[in-house]
Structure 1
Amino acid sequence: MRAKRIVYALNPASGQGLKDDDTVYEEGVELATGATFEELHAATAQALEAPADALIVQGGDGMASMGAEFATKHGVPLGVVPTGTGNDFARSTGIPRGRAARVRAKLIHGLKDGTARFRTVDVLRFTLDGDPHVAVNSINIGFDALVNERANEMRHLRGTTRYLVALLQSVRRFQSERFRYQLDGEPVQEMDAQVLAVLNGRTIGGGIPLGPDARPDDGELDTVIVRGLNRPGLLALFPSALAGLHTLFPQVQTLRGRSIRIESPPGVAIYADGECLRASSTASGSTVEVTIDPRALRLVRAH
């Protein structure tokens, strides 16, 4: 395939921008951007109203999930230039991180001259209180979502450092909450838990391998449940995960399946691919229903 029209969606608030002599200004590439994520989403939707051969997004995991939403809807391949804080989807799928201009040029030139290679990966399709969403890496409920919420306030820090500082701040007043979940239509389970993370990729928080066996193309979702940890244990959870030791904790359980339904109480943060869906200040409970869409997304490889 030789792409004649490529839509390039750029999140100007995430990482490196563009240079005047950049490949994104070449013929056959249409730039979609906006001052806010909402404006960017609308601009990308408008650009894709005309036939396109590919979509490339630049930004973090939230941009990758937006790209997956549009790419699967329009049946076009997706390229990702990771310039976000965590870039966990890129880590899990082998997309090169750093040197954004180089990755961008390889994607665009590969699509144009027909030398681009592709791989297919799974997508998480879910509803939050009935509203449909798409995620590519993770849906985080409970303590890890609260850490994400705190980390988003620390723009001066990046990557895993930012996540670990947020961890220290979050653990002091966090407490377990009562959840209900149902995996693959089996009987409903009820429990007090601290973390429920539904994973397509293996890492969260900029490289913490919370789901070391999760694979983005295996047709299954991995749900990591943490319950019964005291505060020191909760504080040690994610640093231990960095070393691959958290799976030795008896309080850590991983479920595998094709779908899961989770009912969370009020005051529980919910994030997907680093984007806030429910803040910890939310006064009502929520229901999240997740299904895996196997190999629904065709990724352009920048190698």
Structure 2
Amino acid sequence: MYIVIINTHSGRHGNLRKYEEIKASLVFDDIPFYMDSQNESFWETIRETCHEMDHLIKGIVVIGGDGSLHHCINQLNNLQLPFGLIPSGSGNDFAKAMSIPSAPVKAMERILCNKQSCSLDLIKTKDHSILSILSAGLDAESALRVEDSNIKKTLNSFFIGKFIYIVTVFQIIRSFSPFTLTLTFKEGEERHFHNVWLIAVGNTAYYGGGVPMCPKAKPSDGQLDIVVVHDVSLIKLLFCLPSVFVKKHISLPFVSSLRSECVHVETNKKVNWQGDGEAVEASASMTISCKPKSVKFMV
């Protein structure tokens, strides 16, 4: 038996249709929960159900996007159950990184055929767990504005929602103010960066609807992949922006790529951070670590 969590928030009734399609095509026992709100009672009901039926529950299947999966992992990972994903968001970056089929029936078949779950790393801050990429700067401001955008709903209705991330970058890039950044690694080494446009800390390669910002990141190597874009003019940044889509940006002189198990980040002003497309916190100081093999997945 599976717990199935269906994101029905903000008019995502298409997810209900995907659930109905899966149930009409495949035979499996499940208990559905509808994520039209995320208050504590919603999560507590799921926890209680899992505890009461501990010997029967095989895993937690999420029908939604990166944000839905992010909230489920932060709320339910302590149950020690494996997760599965039926991708149904505007970005689906984690699904892309893990080669999860976009067709709901095929994605569920893959979960049902799973004989042994795999263990993946998580990016950890003080209060959050992140599956894909944690970032601050131009990209984070874009991701956070997307969540409040009416354009996203319109593009989603035409199945091109991921393009909203690109549109939003161009909306805010002219008014964005770069910052200075200091990275301190656990070995004591420090790296200083000026005129920083963004810092991305990756567990997987993609964010923002398929942008491979951290192309070398692997979700089970026990390492954070850190990419910093710095010391470049706006005109040159715009000119070189397409290189990220073909994974050539890492070789540019104003892009630094580093790896570590843990890093402390200091900025000269409070900046907004996002993880998996969701708001994490605004801070000028943050310790980020990799928690190896701390979440199980049926993939």
Deviation at 1:160, TM superposition (A): 4.1
Q: Deviations over 1:155-191 (max 9, x none)?
A: 1234542111111111111121122321234244443
Give unpaired runs (5+ residues) of structure 1.
none
Using the alignment, how far apart are the partners of 1:208 and 1:27 within structure 2?
35
Q: Structure 2 vs 1, CA of residues 236 and 121 (structure 1 numbering), >3 Å: closer, same or farther?
A: farther
Q: Indicate whether 1:164 and 2:162 are aligned.
A: no
Q: Indicate whether 1:138 and 2:128 are aligned.
A: no
Structure 1 residues 93-242: aligned runs within 5 Å: 93-97=98-102, 99-104=103-108, 106-107=110-111, 109-110=112-113, 116-127=115-126, 132-152=127-147, 153=149, 154-155=151-152, 156-157=154-155, 158-192=160-194, 193-242=196-245
Using the alignment, how far apart are the partners of 1:271 and 1:83 within structure 2?
20
Using the alignment, how far apart are the partners of 1:16 and 1:183 within structure 2?
44
Deviation at 1:270, TM superposition (A): 0.9
Deviation at 1:222, TM superposition (A): 0.2
Q: Structure 2 vs 1, CA of residues 203 and 220 (structure 1 numbering), >3 Å: closer, same or farther?
A: same
Using the alignment, how far apart are the partners of 1:300 and 1:27 within structure 2?
15
Structure 1 residues 66-81: aligned runs within 5 Å: 66-70=71-75, 72-81=77-86
- Of 249-258 and 48-57, more deviation after overlay is shown by 48-57
- Which residue in 2 is equivalent to 1:37? 38
TM-score by length of 1: 0.83
Q: Deviations over 1:103-160 (max 9, x none)?
A: 23553x43xxxx5453222111211xxxx21110010111110121233313123454
Aligned CA-pair RMSD: 2.5
- Corresponding residue SS for 1:213: coil
Using the alignment, how far apart are the partners of 1:43 and 1:235 within structure 2?
48
Q: Is the 8 A contact 2:22 2:104 kept in 1?
A: no
Using the alignment, how far apart are the partners of 2:21 and 2:212 within structure 1?
38
Give unpaired runs (5+ residues) of structure 2.
none
Paired residue total: 282
Q: Which of 250, 257, 260 lines up with 2:253 in the alignment?
A: 250
Deviation at 1:296, TM superposition (A): 2.0
Q: Is the 8 A contact 2:5 2:62 kept in 1?
A: yes
- Which residue in 2 is equivalent to 1:55? 60
Deviation at 1:89, TM superposition (A): 1.0
Using the alignment, how far apart are the partners of 1:288 and 1:185 within structure 2?
17
TM-score by length of 2: 0.84
Deviation at 1:88, TM superposition (A): 0.9
Q: Indicate whether 1:290 and 2:288 are aligned.
A: yes
Letter paired with 1:123: L
Q: Is the 8 A contact 1:142 1:270 kept in 2?
A: yes
- Which residue in 1 is equivalent to 2:15? 17
Q: Structure 2 vs 1, CA of residues 166 and 237 (structure 1 numbering), >3 Å: closer, same or farther?
A: farther
Q: Is the 8 A contact 2:205 2:216 kept in 1?
A: yes
